[in-house]
Structures are given as C-alpha cells and as structure tokens.
C-alpha cells in the first residue's frame, strides 16, 4: 500500500496545490482522491445519537477522509459492509489496562479489548498507574504497585515521569489507543510515603508539582481511589486544592468514591461535586454501585437480601418497579442536585454486579499503614489478627472514616464473608483456589474465612486479587438495580478491568460492550441502538477531552467498528469469562484494520498514546 501511495503522489503530487476546503470535506481539483480503505454500503451510526444513514466511509492514513457516496472513488482496498452497521470504536474511560504496559506481552494480553470493539481506553484510574515514579518514597510506590500488578518492580519500571512513561510505551507499540489520568495515590505516596496523615503544605506542593508536570505531558486529568490506602487518608480540602490546576489544563477529576455504602453514598457523590464546582472543572463518579447498610438490623436484612437474590424470579414478580428502581434513582437525583448547584458531574457503570480489587482493601485502614512488611507482620500476629477481625465484624461504616474501625466501606461486614472469591494468586501452590469462595475454602479446612484470607496473604506476599459480589454474580435481582443508570443518557459504560495474564479474569474484559448491546439494548430495550452507541463513543470522548474520536465524521480519526446489530453480543459470564463476542466483523484503529472477519490481524500495533494537548 505504501508503494502504491508513493507512485500516486509522484504522478499527481503537483495537483495537490489545487486543494481547497469546503467545510470539513476536502475537494480535489483535477485529481481523484485515492483512499487507503473504503468501507462500502454501510448503515452508519455516527456516534451523535442521530438516526442511522446509508453511506460509504473513506479512510486515508489515520483519518476519515469522507462519508458519503464513494462508489466512484478510487481505493486501495474496499470492505463491503452491506447489512452491517459502521460506528465509532468504543471508548472505555475506566480501565486498568495501563497496568499491563510493563509486560512484554501487553499487546497480546489486551486482544480481548479490541475483540469486543474497544479502540481507546483511559487508564490511571482509582488513583493508580505506572507513572509518575519518584525517587522519594520509592519503596512505598513499589509496595503499592506490586500488590496489584504482581510485577517485579525493580526490573519492570524503566521510567520516572509521566512523559517518560508515555514515550516508552510509544516506543514499544500499542494495540489500541491509551489516554492516562494522573493517579492521586501515587502522588500521595511520593509526597508522604505510606503515612496515615493529612497532607501538609510541603506534601501539597510536591503533589501539585507532579500533577502539573504530568498534565503538561498530556495526561487527561486526575484520578482518585478514596476507598483505598492511601487515598482514604485524604480529606475534601486536600482534593479541592490539589485539583486546582485541572481548570487551567482542561482536565477531568475522577473518583473511585470514598464510600459506596447506601447511607453515605450521597455524601461521597457530593464530595466529587464540591471538587468540580469549586474548581470549575468536570467531575466523574467512577463505576457506580451501592452496598446496603441498615444499621443494627443489618445481619437480618442481609439474610433477607441474599434470600431475594437466590429467589430472584419470585422477588422481581413481587416487588413493583418503582421500588426496584429506588436505590439507583437516589444516586441519579444526587448527581442532578450537584448539577443544579453548578457542578459538571457525570458517572460510569459496569454492566455487571461483580467488582474486583485486592484483598487488603477489605481490611481495616489502620492495618495497612507502613508498607508490606509491617502489614504482613500484623497478619502473622494472632493478637493483631484478632483485632482486625473484630474491627471488620463490629466496625460501622461511618462518614468520614477517621476512627479506628469506622471506615466508610466495610465490604465484608456489609456483604458477608461469603461475598469474596479468589481472583488471582501468584504461586502455583494456590492456583487451585482461584475462582473459589473463601467461605467454601474455610469450610473444607474447618477454619474461619478470615484466617484463610490472612494465611493466603502471607503465602502470597500480600498479592491476592479478589472478586466481590453480594450473591451469585449477575443474578437477575441485583442486576435489576442497575437499570436506571443504564437508561440514563449521561451514564457511560466502562469495563473497570485488568488482565495480568494470571488468575481468573473478569468477563467484562471479554464482553462488556457486547453484553451492554446484546442484553440491555436488544433484549431489555433499556436504550435505543443509536443512543447506546453515543453513550460508548462521543459522550466519553467529549467529557474526557479526547479530541477527534468518538464520531464517524470527516477529519476524525478512523477508529471504526463493523458489526451486526442483530447478533452483536456475548456468552461470556462470571463462571465462563474467556468467550469472545459474536457479531463483530471488523475493528479499525487509526485507519489500520486490527480485527477482520472476527480474527485479530497479526502484528498490527496502530494504537497511539493520546495527549490532552495534542
């Protein structure tokens, strides 16, 4: 193709001087545009939310050159899309795929993303990413990253600044486009180490310097993980002050909330709204969900709730729709309240009811202070272990979490010991435990689940990832809670997934968007097809400041999907996650086909690192 293009330019190059512009569409006088690729006879859903229209899409280089009748146009190659939809590639703004970038097989690991239609992801979420890495408190950063990624920090990390990381990734090649947020957790460890105290003036100065340096390199905004160590030790004033540079750079503020507990979730949303409003910036509530808390009667209420999950057919018939919608409608109304008060806020949701994190996230915050060695020492001490268990079983989810045992998201007390499943371990010795509930393992061993957790953490050097789910993941009753958010026109769809080549993957890594379209668009009819495309393309692109993507439009980057709207879907599920979707014929990223005929094109690495100021 390069040879053909060179010959064409040598022959017709002088005519390029006659190029003039009519709107956004180039008009060539005396020559006919030669496209690298024309996707012909398509039903175009352009990402705007408007109705589909019949057209051809002409691609030259990395961009869409024309949308219209291109039957007479010359093209190096044509792809017939008769009976298919052409739409923008999906933009996943809450991903952890960036955490795989240190691996030599990163492109291979991320194939499931493009196989489901994702052409761009935004990493650095929940306050964690692979950059910046500072010399200050380097051991703390090492502990923080190794728990999640299971990397060998000293050999894997070959950069310091965000700019150096971006350049390093570009040098290796990318399968799909990657944007990055600046991770608050990494900034805080750089400035304060693994301490559990508010940021003083010196720490704030260092964090703001690192943030501005990263924004100048092209980062899209700032992310926080306020449920997790060390973000949970920050307060609202720290976040407001730290986020101030985002206004100057046009960056977005995203938050894994301080609490997803039903009684304090509104306050957590308001915290994001306050940061956004006081700084005049955009705020994003990450992967919305709600965990119930009913105070003194919670043990009884939890048993009743689990019964309803197990008997979801009866429950859904018995309860009226307004009652089923009530919890999520409270969230949507809280967001609307913040908008009325001047905060530009939005949210995203995973089309699942099973989350994942590292096991230590379920432990009392005081137990996580001081680095991995100190944490593991506490786990090995019987008296300290007993204190941890007591705080989990007796602690109350309060706001804000400043006491010893009142952190605002006590997942195990709120959801039960039977809510936690082993996702990934490091050693071969314990691989057989992956995919199993801690309560089942404990019953076999005649022990308490907490002792099983602590011993597994000790054996795995603290590196254990887990799923959490109130009941069997995606039972119809807990799924029903998500419907109002899935209908909401300002809610984006995201994966929140990480695949490290170990353990049991989340099925959303294979089937997030196919599930959204197959189950919630086609089967449940919660949203129309064109609107669903907008929610996965132009909406996230606009809110996160990703320019030139998310639309099928002249001048935009050629990130495109060719799919069958009647069969696009997935059979991937929690128990059988590694299933590729149906109905996706082709994926084009920056003008280069990476999936054709449902198969990955070998060796294609057309992805770009997206910079806010590019």
Rounded distance between C-alpha atoms, residue 552 and residue 557, angstroms? 8
Give phi and psi for 234, each to the nearest 5: -80, 165
User: Dmax of the chain from CA atoms?
Assistant: 85
pLDDT score of 32:
61
H, E, C per residue of 342-403: CCEEEEEECCCCCEEEEHHHHCCHHHHCCCHHHHHHHHHCHHHHHHHHHHHHHCCCCCCCCC
Phi-psi region of 280 (alpha: psi -120 to 50; beta: other; left: phi over 0): left
Rounded distance between C-alpha atoms, residue 422 and residue 409, angstroms? 20
Query: To which residue do tokens 């979420």 refer?
Result: 125
In the three-class reduction of DSSP (H, G, I as helix; E, B as strand; rest coil), residue 515 is classed as helix
Task: Characterize 175-214 residue by residue with b for buried, 16 or more Cβ atoms within 10 angstroms of its Cβ, and e for exposed.
Answer: bbbbbbbbbbbbbbbbbbbbbeeebeeebbebbbebbbeb
Handedness of CA 357, 358, 362, 367 (dihedral sign): negative
Q: Is the peptide bond before 236 cis (omega within 30 degrees of 0)?
A: no
Q: Could you tell me if 516 and 523 are in contact, meaning their C-beta atoms sit under 8 angstroms apart?
A: no
Q: Could you tell me if 323 and 435 are in contact, meaning their C-beta atoms sit under 8 angstroms apart?
A: no
Q: Which two tokens stand for residue 397?
A: 């989810």
Using CB atoms within 10 A of its CB, is residue 47 exposed (0-12), middle (13-18) or buried (19+)? buried
pLDDT score of 31:
45
Q: Taking the CB of residue 364, how many other CB atoms lie within 10 A of it?
A: 20
The candidate with the shortest Cα–Cα distance to 180, out of 134, 222, 133, 150, is 222
- Provide the whole-model pTM: 0.92
In the three-class reduction of DSSP (H, G, I as helix; E, B as strand; rest coil), residue 39 is classed as strand
Q: Could you tell me if 561 and 88 are in contact, meaning their C-beta atoms sit under 8 angstroms apart?
A: yes
The packing angle between helices 184-192 and 201-216, to 10°, is 140
pLDDT score of 24:
38
pLDDT averaged per 10 residues in sequence order, the chain, 614 residues: 38 36 37 86 98 98 98 96 98 96 94 97 97 94 87 93 98 97 97 91 97 98 94 94 98 96 95 98 97 94 96 96 96 98 98 91 87 90 96 87 74 95 93 95 97 96 92 92 97 90 88 98 98 98 98 98 98 94 98 94 96 85
Q: Which two tokens stand for residue 407?
A: 């952190």
- DSSP code string of 308-346: HHHTHHHHHHHS-HHHHHHHHHHHHHHHHHHHHTT-EEE
The candidate with the shortest Cα–Cα distance to 512, out of 526, 529, 498, is 498
Q: Domain 90-354+477-583 belongs to what topology? A: TIM Barrel (3.20.20)
Rounded distance between C-alpha atoms, residue 214 and residue 190, angstroms? 14
Q: Are strands 85-88 and 221-225 parallel, antiparallel or unpaired?
A: unpaired
pLDDT tens digit string along 314-353? 999 999 999 999 999 999 999 999 999 999 999 999 999 9
Rounded distance between C-alpha atoms, residue 36 and residue 27, angstroms? 17
- Find residue 163's DSSP bridge partners: none
Phi-psi region of 335 (alpha: psi -120 to 50; beta: other; left: phi over 0): alpha
pLDDT score of 207:
98
Query: To which residue do tokens 């009913």 refer?
Result: 294
Q: Could you tell me if 196 and 588 are in contact, meaning their C-beta atoms sit under 8 angstroms apart?
A: no
Contacts of 383 (CB under 8 A, 6+ apart): none
Q: Could you tell me if 180 and 546 are in contact, meaning their C-beta atoms sit under 8 angstroms apart?
A: no
Rounded distance between C-alpha atoms, residue 491 and residue 500, angstroms? 28
Q: Are strands 37-44 and 90-92 parallel, antiparallel or unpaired?
A: unpaired
- Find residue 181's DSSP bridge partners: 221
pLDDT score of 403:
63
In the three-class reduction of DSSP (H, G, I as helix; E, B as strand; rest coil), residue 563 is classed as strand
Contacts of 334 (CB under 8 A, 6+ apart): 265, 266, 269, 270
Handedness of CA 296, 297, 303, 309 (dihedral sign): negative
Kindly list the domain boundaries of the chain, sorted by start residue.
Answer: 2-87, 90-354+477-583, 368-468
Q: Quick one: how far is CA 281 from the chain centroid? A: 20
pLDDT score of 149:
84
Phi-psi region of 548 (alpha: psi -120 to 50; beta: other; left: phi over 0): left
- Measured between its terminal Cα atoms, the distance across the chain in Å is 27
Rounded distance between C-alpha atoms, residue 108 and residue 45, angstroms? 29
The candidate with the shortest Cα–Cα distance to 95, out of 441, 493, 474, is 493
The packing angle between helices 265-279 and 321-340, to 10°, is 30
pLDDT tens digit string along 424-453? 998 999 999 999 999 999 999 999 999 999
The candidate with the shortest Cα–Cα distance to 79, out of 550, 529, 554, 595, is 595
Rounded distance between C-alpha atoms, residue 567 and residue 571, angstroms? 11
**Common-topology check for domains 2-87 and 90-354+477-583:** no
Question: Domain 2-87: what homologous superfamily?
Answer: Urease, subunit C, domain 1 (2.30.40.10)
Q: Quick one: how far is CA 364 from the chain centroid? A: 25
pLDDT score of 508:
96
């Amino acid at each position: 193709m390069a040879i053909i293009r060179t010959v064409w330019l040598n022959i017709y190059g002088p005519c390029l001087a006659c190029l003039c512009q009519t709107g956004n569409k180039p008009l060539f006088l005396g020559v006919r545009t030669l496209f690298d690729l024309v996707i012909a006879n398509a039903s175009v859903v352009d990402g705007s939310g408007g109705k589909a229209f019949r057209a051809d899409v002409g691609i030259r280089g990395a961009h869409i050159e024309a949308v219209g009748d291109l039957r007479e146009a010359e093209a190096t190659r044509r792809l017939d899309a008769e009976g298919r939809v052409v739409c923008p590639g999906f933009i996943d703004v809450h991903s952890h795929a960036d955490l795989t970038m240190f691996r030599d097989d990163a492109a291979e690991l991320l194939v499931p993303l493009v196989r489901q239609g994702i052409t761009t992801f935004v990493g650095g979420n929940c306050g964690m990413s692979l950059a910046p890495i500072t010399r200050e408190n380097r051991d703390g950063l090492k502990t923080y990253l190794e728990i999640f990624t299971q990397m060998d920090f000293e050999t894997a990390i070959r950069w310091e600044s965000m700019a150096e990381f971006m350049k390093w990734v570009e040098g290796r090649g990318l399968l799909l486009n990657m944007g990055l947020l600046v991770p608050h957790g990494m900034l805080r460890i750089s400035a304060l180490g693994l301490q559990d105290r508010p940021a003083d003036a010196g720490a704030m100065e260092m964090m703001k310097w690192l943030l501005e340096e990263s924004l100048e390199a092209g980062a899209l905004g700032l992310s926080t993980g306020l449920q997790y160590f060390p973000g949970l030790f920050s307060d609202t004033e720290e976040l407001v002050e730290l986020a101030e540079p985002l206004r100057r750079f046009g960056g977005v503020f995203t938050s894994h909330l301080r609490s997803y507990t039903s009684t304090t979730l509104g306050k957590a949303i308001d915290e994001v709204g306050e940061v956004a409003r006081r700084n005049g910036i955009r705020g994003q509530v990450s992967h919305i969900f709600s965990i119930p808390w009913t105070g003194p009667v919670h043990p009884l209420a939890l048993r009743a709730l689990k019964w309803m999950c197990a008997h979801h057919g009866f429950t859904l018939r018995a309860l009226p729709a307004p009652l089923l919608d009530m919890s999520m409608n409270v969230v949507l109304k809280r967001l609307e309240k913040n908008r009325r008060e001047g905060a530009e806020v939005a949210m995203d949701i995973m089309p699942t009811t099973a989350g994942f994190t590292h096991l230590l996230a379920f432990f009392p915050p005081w137990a996580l202070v001081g680095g991995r060695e100190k944490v593991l020492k506490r786990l090995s001490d019987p008296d300290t272990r007993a204190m941890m268990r007591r705080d989990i079983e007796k602690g109350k989810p309060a706001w804000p979490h400043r006491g010893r045992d009142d952190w605002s998201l006590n997942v195990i007390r709120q959801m039960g010991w039977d809510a936690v499943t082993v996702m990934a371990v490091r050693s071969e010795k314990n691989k057989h435990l992956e995919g199993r509930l801690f309560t089942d393992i404990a019953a076999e061993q005649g022990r308490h689940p907490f002792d099983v957790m602590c011993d597994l953490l000790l054996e795995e050097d603290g590196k254990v990832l887990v799923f959490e789910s109130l009941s069997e993941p995606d039972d119809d009753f807990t799924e029903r809670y998500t419907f109002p958010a899935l209908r909401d026109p300002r809610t984006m769809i995201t994966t929140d997934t990480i695949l490290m080549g170990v353990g049991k993957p989340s099925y959303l890594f294979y089937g997030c968007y196919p599930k959204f379209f197959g189950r919630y668009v086609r089967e449940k009819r919660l949203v129309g097809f064109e609107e669903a495309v907008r929610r996965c393309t132009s909406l996230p692109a606009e809110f996160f400041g990703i320019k030139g993507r998310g639309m099928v439009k002249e001048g935009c980057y050629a990130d495109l999907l060719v799919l069958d709207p009647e069969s696009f879907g997935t059979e991937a599920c929690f128990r059988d996650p590694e299933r590729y979707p149906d109905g996706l014929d082709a994926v084009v990223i920056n003008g280069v086909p990476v999936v054709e005929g449902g198969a990955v094109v070998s060796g294609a690495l057309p992805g770009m690192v997206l910079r806010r100021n590019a």
